[in-house]
Chains A and B, each alone.
Chain A
Amino acid sequence: MARRPGRHPVTVDIHCHFTSKRADDLALPLRPATAEATLAVVSPAERERHRLYIDSLDDRIRGTEKRLAEMDEQGVDVQVVSPGPMQYFYWTEPGMGRTLARMVNDDLAQLCAGHPDRLVPMGTVPLQDAQMAVAELERIAREHGMKAVEVSTNVNGIELSDPRLAPFWAKAEALGLLVLIHPLGFTDGKRLRRHNFNNVIGNPLESAIAVGYLIFDGVLDRHPGLKICVAHGGGFAAHYIGRFDHSWSARTADRGAIAQKPSEYMKRLYFDTVQYDPIEVENLVRHWGADHVLMGTDWPYTMGEPDPVGLLHRCTGLSEAECHKIAGGNAAALLGIKFRSSAKVKTDA
């Protein structure tokens, strides 16, 4: 796959973000210092540094001008834009959560409507109330035509497999939406304060916990049609499935609700390429298949992959066909994105 040839495969970024200013303006004055796991355990000075960092992203993450310019630099034709995870707002009262989710979704839909050939929206729902989440899921699918929704790995410490959330999974399956599971730090960040560890370790850990519960509590067993993509290359679980499988095989009394071994459920999931490391991307492809890996960046954060197409180039063990699927083909198929033609997409001549 050449970097930017005249005829190139369409490239889709499944993992990149947006934040709504209106929603921040409404929510942030209400947010307790302990609302987010990562911020709850750091000093006020560290919290202030984080606030300044987040503020510094505003002119990229809120709008389209820099977004489109950076997409061109990265060789990304289409962004599937999801809310920055600080905008889940699961910590608010349900009514406020619904208001905020609607605000984020409406602003995101508007952003993408300005560039429908480049930007595809992925919404958020107030998971602190499953009925409201279901209602908002239906609304964004119906009113905004959204094909995907982003969720965190837990809801205020409650696992995604909690029975209270069952209506959400049933509705997501029924609507055929892609669910992007995107963590926001481990709920207990005390030992992960230093070295950005509640992101570096906490995020892939959270995904492993979330996927572990979805598998062992039988959510994936009960909803075989669910389409789930797990951020950051699926986190630890996608790279370390043997211990799940062994536990299931060897500890038969403790198998929980599932009929098949955990890897049988894991292989239905999708994983992004936010790994920074060609070996780890290739491991995903070899283990779960090229059909299950989607190009992503985590734009515009410091933990974003600056060169998502280049990363695929560095995966020397992948065939061209595999690269094309990963670069955009899989995302297009999952989300029903219809490209006019790659020639329409701006190239950096």
Chain B
Amino acid sequence: MFYRCALHASDDRRAQALARAAKRTARKSRNLTIDIHCHFMSPRAIEFTRPHAGAASESALRYATPLTRQILIEQNTRVHDAISGTEKRLAEMDKMGVDIQAVSPGPQAYGYFLEPDIGRQASRMVNDDLAELVARHPDRLVAMGTVPLQDTQLAIAEMERCVKEHGMRGIEISSHVNGKELARKELEPFFARAEELGILIFLHPLGTTNAERLSDHYFNNVIANPLEATIAVGHLIMEGVLDRLPKLKICVAHGGGYISHYIGRSDHTFRARADGRQHIKKPPSEYLKRLYFDTVVFDHAQLRHLVARWGADHVIMGTDWPYDMAEPDPVGFVESCKGLTAADKAKIHGLNAAKLLGVRAKKPAAKKPAPRKRRR
């Protein structure tokens, strides 16, 4: 192992993967393609929150090995231009064959640990910058905002502002608020208002609350993110939030995490135990099937499972761009998955997202893959 080059190797690999993706995509997809899971970072908001951020803000770094920490820090530097601007973003979208990004803040922007008014200001800053970014290319970029969930009323106000002032299509949230579950009573007005507004909630975890045993091998991302989605969605189901809010639209990142791949145990506890059905009338899978899941699973068998189990209408293409845990070839990953019909692929590539986000785009003629291939 050549450690000298190791940190840059992932850069090279990513560039190579993108190049391969571009070729495959150019060859294969003529569907409208929308990436539901990709990020933005506001340098202004990072600077603003820095003095207020205690140790609590750095959980990703706290639960990590020195090597993982080094990689994270280098990654943040490396992706800075791509994630905060539009130039590299559009270039990489073109390479990946992504027509439209539904851009959400990088999850470090949540700032739920901040004092509520500081959190409110930080959210506004992120959202205003994000709105400005997507306004530069309204045909290629739509936005999902962030809200200060540490205060329900402030969160509702900022969500309304995002929708009314900036025309945002969704709100991204974490899987818990400083260790408190999303499903607790105090937060329900937020979800009720999201349901009324008809916007999409994008549930995207950021490590887990106690990752002492997940510090090695980047497990605080690799295991903790799908775990957190499972804990969050599990509570939203079992506490009856999804029962009370049947029209709430939620997309869960990373293919829904573990729960969308492993619902049998939840359904069994509902059937077999009184403590598994205190607030719900139907088995957990009946609520889970209303949710949406992105394609960031890296494995065709898992993608096939998501489609077979929850329906092609409930699976949405995503990448996690521009991080190293992103799918480098999102269009090709869906396109080359055996067992999916052409209609399934069109839905997953973009039609589902267009419907959920209210995007009225057709496949832009100028970006048809065929001419690009001829240019090569």
Contacts and interface: CB of A to CB of B under 8 A. Distances in A.
Nearest to B9: A252
Interface in B254-275: 254-255, 257-258, 261-269, 272-273, 275
A320 to B, nearest CB: 22
Given A157-B213, A209-B223, A277-B267, A251 B71 contact: yes
A13 to B, nearest CB: 17
Interface in B188-227: 209-210, 212-214, 216-219, 221-223, 225-227
B226 A236 contact: yes
B226 A240 contact: yes
Contacts of A233: 262, 264
A240 B261 contact: yes
Given A236-B262, A252-B9, A275-B264, A242 B297 contact: yes
Contacts of B298: 242-243, 245-246
Given A191-B181, A208-B223, A252-B6, A303 B213 contact: no
B54 interface: no
B308 to A, nearest CB: 8
B10 A250 contact: yes
Nearest to B8: A253
Interface in A215-267: 216-217, 232-233, 236, 239-247, 249-256
Contacts of B217: 212-213, 216-217, 247, 254, 256
B214 A209 contact: yes
A249 B16 CA distance: 13
Main secondary structure, interface of A, reads: helix
Contacts of B314: none
Nearest to B280: A195
A303 B268 contact: yes
Contacts of B324: 250-251
A276 B275 contact: no
B223 A200 contact: no
Given A196-B276, A240-B258, A242-B298, A190 B10 contact: no
Interface string B78-115: 00000000000000000000000000000000000000
A305 B223 CA distance: 27
B227 A205 contact: yes
Given A236-B226, A251-B218, A254-B68, A246 B262 contact: no
A197 B234 contact: yes
Nearest to B259: A201
Given A195-B278, A199-B269, A242-B298, A253 B10 contact: yes
Interface string B103-137: 00000000000000000000000000000000000
A212 B230 contact: no
Contacts of B212: 157, 188
B244 to A, nearest CB: 16
Contacts of B327: 246
A4 interface: no
A292 B29 CA distance: 37
Given A191-B209, A208-B223, A212-B217, A280 B325 contact: no
Contacts of B216: 213, 216-217, 256
Interface string A176-211: 000000000001101110111101110111001100
A31 interface: no
Nearest to B217: A216
Interface residues of A, number: 55
Contacts of A188: 210, 212-213
A173 interface: no
B176 interface: yes
Interface in B308-325: 308-309, 324-325
B13 interface: yes
Contacts of A302: 272-273
B302 interface: yes
B235 interface: yes
A279 B273 CA distance: 22
Contact of A243 (B6, B230, B276, B297): B297
A237 to B, nearest CB: 8
A302 B179 CA distance: 29
Contacts of B176: 191
A308 to B, nearest CB: 13
B213 A154 contact: yes
B213 A287 contact: no
Interface in B287-303: 297-299, 301-302
A205 B257 CA distance: 12
Contact of B218 (A196, A213, A247, A287): A247
Contacts of A251: 10, 71, 218, 324-325
A247 B272 contact: no
Nearest to A288: B301
Contacts of A192: 231
A51 interface: no
A253 B269 contact: no
Interface string A316-341: 00000000000000000000000000
Contacts of B10: 250-253
Contacts of A342: none
B62 interface: no
Nearest to A195: B238
Interface string B52-73: 0000000000000001100100
A245 B217 CA distance: 12
Contacts of B325: 243, 246-247, 250-251
Given A212-B219, A239-B261, 20 more contacts: A194-B275, A201-B258, A205-B223, A205-B227, A213-B217, A241-B299, A241-B302, A242-B302, A245-B299, A246-B298, A247-B325, A251-B325, A253-B3, A256-B216, A276-B265, A280-B264, A283-B261, A287-B301, A303-B269, A305-B268
Interface of B: 1, 3, 6-7, 9-10, 13-14, 67-68, 71, 176, 179, 181, 209-210, 212-214, 216-219, 221-223, 225-227, 230-231, 234-235, 238-239, 254-255, 257-258, 261-269, 272-273, 275-276, 278, 297-299, 301-302, 305, 308-309, 324-325, 327-328
5 contacts: A197-B231, A208-B258, A236-B227, A236-B258, A303-B273
Would you list the 5 A-B pairs with minimal beta carbon distance, nearest first? Answer: A277-B264, A242-B299, A242-B298, A253-B6, A246-B298
